A = this chain, B = another copy of it.
Amino acid sequence: MNNSTDSQTIHDLIDRLTRLTAAEEWNGPLNPSQFAALTYLARANRFSRAPSHVADYLVTTRGTASQTLKALARKDLITEARSEADKRSIRYDVTKDGLALLKDASGLETVVETLPADVAASLAASLKSLVLALLHHRGGRSFGLCGTCRHHEPTATGGHCRLLGVSLKPHEASQLCHEHSPELETHP
């Protein structure tokens, strides 16, 4: 017994971290959920800013995501943009006010920066493994950067998405995409 790292211990640490982070994350007029949604919208590409994508990313339902987005819109931090092509879908864009709110570094980041470099590196690496394992477990999407996707193709003018069949501007390669699918592993 006394297994050096049992899953119970890790569970406890994650719960504690969750509570501490949430407390640290109240950002002015926003609660943690709203802040997370706003942050996502600011990093997602134009094909990934609909309520259902936010719901996927935040691991909640469309209904809940819809309410959170309405709350952000009421505060003029995001605006609705209805699609011409598909009249059912909506894309939310972050406003100037919304971007301004995201500027200031959070308390969490301040603390992370006090960690020794090697601890930060191993934290990032092991967190990534865990998040990927959890996503795999529940069949969730990875929401990676567009440019690291197997459907992405660099071109002279920026890039091209083979899946959606659209050309991309240079800055779009570093935005999150709900269709993201990692590069295929090189099988041994």
Contact = CB atoms under 8 A, between A and B. Distances in A.
A18 B10 contact: no
A23 B127 contact: no
The size class of the interface chain A forms with chain B is 35 or more
Contacts of A121: 4-5
Number of this chain's copies in the complex:
2
Contacts of A57: 19
Interface string A102-117: 0001111111111101
Contacts of A117: 5
A21 B14 contact: yes
Given A7-B113, A8-B109, A9-B124, A59 B15 contact: no
B129 A119 contact: yes
Contact of A59 (B22, B125, B133, B137): B22
Given A14-B21, A20-B138, A36-B19, A7 B109 contact: yes
Given A114-B133, A123-B127, A127-B123, A59 B13 contact: no
Contacts of A24: 134, 138
Query: Which among A107, A110, A111 has the highest number of chain B CB atoms within 10 Å?
Result: A111
A126 interface: yes
A103 to B, nearest CB: 12
Nearest to A105: B7
A95 interface: no
A23 B131 CA distance: 13
Given A125-B122, A126-B123, A131 B16 contact: yes
Interface of A: 4-5, 7-24, 36, 39, 57-60, 105-115, 117, 119-131, 133-135, 137-138, 140
